[in-house]
Amino acid sequence: MVYCDASHKGLGAVLMQKEKVIAYASRQLKVHEKNYTTHDLELGAVVFALKMWRHYLHGTKCVMFTDHKSLQHILDQKELNMRQRRWLELLSDYDYEIRYH
């Protein structure tokens, strides 16, 4: 399971298994990312975590926890910007579930 979060300063994630921490990851936002909406930042944190730990997560079922409730319904949204479409295409390579916590 992966816990993801974003702020207007950076992205962060924690990879856990059986309630034990496997790894932490974080980074500052790039200049252009500071203009992203909260929704895109939170989705960006999920993408960041999947890219960072792809060798752990690819081919396994993973649960992604976020504190941004609307991400649970991202696949149902009809109007997506190009960035969101690109990220969802990347996410389609993984067996994941997004849950609100």
At 5-18, the pLDDT tens digits run 999 999 999 999 99
Partnered with residue 28 across adjacent β-strands are: 10
pTM of the model: 0.91
Which amino acid would we find at residue 85?
Answer: R
Q: How far apart are CA 29 and CA 7, in angstroms?
A: 9
Nearest Cα to Cα of residue 74 among 46, 44, 43, 51: 43
Task: Mark 2-36 as b/e (b = at least 16 C-beta within 10 Å).
Answer: bbbbbeeebbbbbbeeeeeeeeebeeebeeebeeb
pLDDT tens track for 67-89? 988 887 887 888 899 999 999 99
pLDDT tens track for 16-62? 999 999 999 999 999 999 999 999 999 999 999 999 999 999 999 99
Instruction: Give residue 101's pLDDT band: very low, low, confident or very high (50, 70, 90).
Output: confident
Complete domains list, the chain, with CATH: 2-100 (3.30.420.10)
Residue 18 is predicted with a pLDDT of 94
The single-letter DSSP state of residue 25 is: E
